[in-house]
Structure 1
């Protein structure tokens, strides 16, 4: 089932707000992006699974303090499917890293309405493998 154009735009905005808030270090804004019981699964990258807004906010802040967090996130290739109350979204993410690398990931997201807005209830990050020639 497809999501109506207004909801689709709000879902795109939610994904953009997440990237913008993290890039700017405005971690308090994550409350407006995630549901209270959200799960952020970065286990495929070796970084673990973070639960709830507090856990996600703490993980984002910790990565920023470590100096290894991306300098900028870009979300692209957004494909939304769902119903009036829930949606699944597949997208790609590009990240500019402090060491100059550009990394790519896949996002598998589940969003639902929470307090009248679309919010992420689950995000799973999967690294896009680098070509063998680029790994050297």
Structure 2
């Protein structure tokens, strides 16, 4: 993984909050493959397959969505086959001012369109000092 690859993947992960918070679901094609597996089962949302399913789930939540998604602590690890495993922390700020924390575990692959997330697992952080 080159330094340019690291920057591109980090930008990819950082861009998620901007697109999601603005409701730009069409823009998510710049981040995820069309057949992305988006696992939010730990949050009660099951495993969503495809961008259309992820979009519908977000729209179904409506005002229960966070008003702000913040991603930090991005760590990238390249596997032998050139796939990148990314871990990051997410903070969600709700309309009432409450906040929640999650860990994102992403599989990122180089496609013809550039680096894209092919698989994401979202795990809530509800207890300290535990993974």
Question: TM (normalized to structure 2)?
Answer: 0.89
Q: For residue 64 of structure 2, give the secondary structure of its aligned residue in structure 1.
A: coil
Alignment partner, residue 78 of structure 1 = 74
List alignment gaps of at least 5 residues for structure 1.
132-136
Give the 5 Å matches for 1:47-62: 47-62=45-60
Does residue 1:97 correspond to 2:94, yes or no? Answer: yes
Distance, in Å, in 1 between the alignment partners of 2:3 and 2:22 is: 28
Post-superposition offset of 1:59: 1.7
RMSD value, Cα: 1.5
Alignment partner, residue 87 of structure 1 = 84
Q: For residue 11 of structure 1, give the secondary structure of its aligned residue in structure 2.
A: helix
How many residue pairs were aligned?
127
Post-superposition offset of 1:90: 0.6
Distance, in Å, in 1 between the alignment partners of 2:82 and 2:54 is: 23
Distance, in Å, in 1 between the alignment partners of 2:59 and 2:82 is: 30
Does residue 1:68 correspond to 2:94, yes or no? Answer: no
Alignment partner, residue 12 of structure 2 = 14
Runs (4+) of structure 1 moved beyond 3 Å?
none
List alignment gaps of at least 5 residues for structure 2.
none
Distance, in Å, in 2 between the alignment partners of 1:80 and 1:59 is: 28
Alignment partner, residue 134 of structure 1 = none
Question: TM (normalized to structure 1)?
Answer: 0.86
Post-superposition offset of 1:130: 4.5
Post-superposition offset of 1:116: 3.6
